[in-house]
């Protein structure tokens, strides 16, 4: 039932060009605003996907949470490698904040949400916001994210990060697919691979992140990425809820 909201698409400026966003606004009287702002980042391994990938989820959030959702058409690898997608998503949030009045949003109530590559981006944008001297993201939802380059897992978690080998031949996503995404998205070498904007598990300021919700599939090679991030967040005092959908593959 695609009712209860309106959408519009428009180009917005980012630091070195422009991207498209699709904005979902609840159908209620203007006096009911300003609404929470949800920045939504689609999945697709950083090299696929578009504004239609998460369209259904976007309008369900808009109607269900009575929030304005900005669905971000960030530029894709391999033409636009790291950190361009991170910067696009962050710049889209900056644009939404700067245009809060026109969008009828409350810039003090911001959530970042995404699935797979988008789950990584939702955490990266919140982290980049902290590193920029702000703390404007109030909630992160990271669904089946990649949280660390598999060649640079922290030693303390080596025994916990087993799903990449257990489900190396997994349905939907396998280990070869993870490394294909890495080759497309990251420049060669250690610098990109260990950047906290890709390998958030390696960040040194996780304690400052907002409450976080993580979802993983039980038969996903990335399962333990999400589980270990939840463990680390809880260890440093960040409220974190983790849902494990046992028996499910990636992007279920």
CATH 3.40.50.1820, applies to 5-245: yes
What's the average model confidence in pLDDT over 25-43? Answer: 90
Residue 250 among the catalytic residues: yes
In this prediction, residue 30 has a pLDDT band, given cuts at 50, 70 and 90, of: low
> Which residue is catalytic, options 91, 220, 224, 225?
220
What's the average model confidence in pLDDT over 36-49? Answer: 98
Residue 220 among the catalytic residues: yes
pLDDT tens readout for residues 61-90: 999 999 999 999 999 999 999 999 999 999
> Which residue is catalytic, options 80, 88, 116, 224?
116
pLDDT tens readout for residues 121-133: 999 999 999 999 9
**Cα–Cα distance for residue pair 153/201, rounded to 1 Å:** 8
Domain ranges of the chain: 5-245
Give the chain's mean pLDDT.
96
User: What pLDDT, on a 0 to 100 scale, did the predictor assign at position 225?
Assistant: 98
**Cα–Cα distance for residue pair 167/127, rounded to 1 Å:** 29
Write the DSSP assignment of 26-78 as a string of letters.
ESS-GGG-PEEEEEEE--STTTS--TTTTHHHHHHHHHHHT-EEEEEE---TT
> Which residue is catalytic, options 42, 80, 149, 250?
250
pTM for this structure?
Answer: 0.97
Residue 181 among the catalytic residues: no
């Amino acid at each position: 039932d695609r009712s209860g909201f309106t959408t519009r698409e428009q180009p917005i400026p980012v630091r070195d060009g422009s991207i498209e966003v699709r904005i979902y606004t609840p159908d209620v009287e203007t006096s009911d605003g300003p609404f929470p702002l949800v920045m939504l980042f689609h999945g697709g391994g950083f090299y696929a996907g578009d504004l239609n990938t998460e369209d259904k989820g976007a309008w369900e959030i808009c109607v269900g949470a009575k929030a304005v959702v900005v669905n971000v058409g960030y530029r894709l690898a391999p033409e636009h490698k790291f950190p361009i997608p991170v910067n696009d998503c962050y710049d889209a949030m900056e644009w939404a904040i700067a245009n809060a009045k026109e969008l009828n949003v409350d810039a003090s109530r911001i959530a970042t949400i995404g699935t797979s590559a988008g789950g990584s981006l939702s955490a990266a944008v919140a982290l980049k916001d902290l590193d920029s001297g702000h703390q404007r993201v109030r909630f992160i939802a990271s669904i089946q994210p990649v949280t660390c380059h598999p060649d640079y897992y922290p030693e303390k978690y080596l025994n916990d990060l087993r799903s990449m080998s257990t489900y190396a031949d997994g349905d939907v996503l396998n280990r070869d697919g993870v490394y294909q995404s890495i080759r497309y998205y990251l420049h060669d070498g250690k610098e990109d691979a260990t950047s906290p904007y890709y390998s958030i598990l390696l960040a040194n300021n996780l304690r400052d992140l907002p409450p976080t919700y993580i979802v993983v599939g039980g038969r996903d090679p990335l399962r333990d990425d999400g589980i270990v991030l939840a463990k680390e967040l809880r260890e440093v005092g960040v409220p974190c809820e983790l849902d494990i959908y046992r028996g499910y593959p990636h992007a279920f």
